[in-house]
Amino acid sequence: MLVLVAPGQGAQTPGFLTPWLDLPGAEDRLRAWSAAIDLDLVHYGTRADADEIRDTAVAQPLLVAASLLAARELFPTPEDLTRQVGAVAGHSVGELAATALSGVLDDTAAMHLVRRRGLAMAEAAAVTETGMSALLGGEPDVVLPHLERLGLTPANVNGAGQIVAAGTAEQLAALAEDKPEGTRKVVPLKVAGAFHTHHMAPAVTSLREAVAALTVTDPHTAYVSNADGEVVSGGKEVVDRLVGQVASPVRWDLCMTTFQSLGASALIELVPGGTLVGLAKRAMRGVPTLALKTPEDLDAARTLIAETAGPAE
């Protein structure tokens, strides 16, 4: 069974979409989404510098667009995806791509929603100087109490020895000086706020208003939720979870456990791939993985799909 996953914020790098726009129809698709959400995704994906694409209001739509662009190259129709993919998921903002890939929202609706999400979270992040740092290594029963003592939130529990802490700049500075026993390294992330914490509460209100007008359908492919790693079968519940998730921790560790319980035999991470494949290599040992970075990776992805695709029995 093939699992298709979309990366979260921080995966973007300057110019990462440049080679993708050489594919037939890719630039037209990106420009159509740009017009729909009033954001020049072509500019931000090809010419913008690191500071420009670090902006939450830019990074989030850009990442979802990139994942959808690559997915539509691999699976041109919903029927192709349903026939060849057993489960979909996304890490944090990647969940918005997963909603479109699973058929809960159409691509344009997902782009509108992620634009609203990015703006709302950027506004919430501007209230207080906050951020996120990844802790590499260490045992959860040691790391989690340590974060609590510092007033930090375990915003992403990613498995494979990685927990992401979120909080104020002062709290993160204290963490850098006093890391938990057994933690090898504390790495600041390229994000502009303490996502998936109480600092994002104002964004929940904004998103709740945004989803009220959406037309949703039930997923045609198993959708695995960040909230608890559960497969969600109702479209309305998928969207409701997206709203609350901006202020709740991401449990990617539980998502990977679910992938395995569903019978995952391969995992492909959409553009800009790498982070989630790295986690899967450590937590899902023996499962073949592939990270889509450039169009040169498409042939290898198609080969992996042909060898392993299909829903779980």
* Residues annotated as catalytic (active site), given as ranges: 92, 196
Side by side, the strands of the sheet bearing 231-232 are: 231-232, 222-224, 87-90, 2-6, 266-269, 289-291
Give Dmax (Cα) for the chain.
Answer: 53
Q: Where are the extended beta strands (E) located within 52-126?
A: 87-90
CA-to-CA distance for 242 and 7, rounded, in angstroms?
15
Q: Residue 26: phi, psi to the nearest 5?
A: -65, -45
CB atoms < 10 A from the CB of 291, how many? 23
Q: Directed axis angle between helix 201-211 and helix 107-125, to 10°?
A: 160
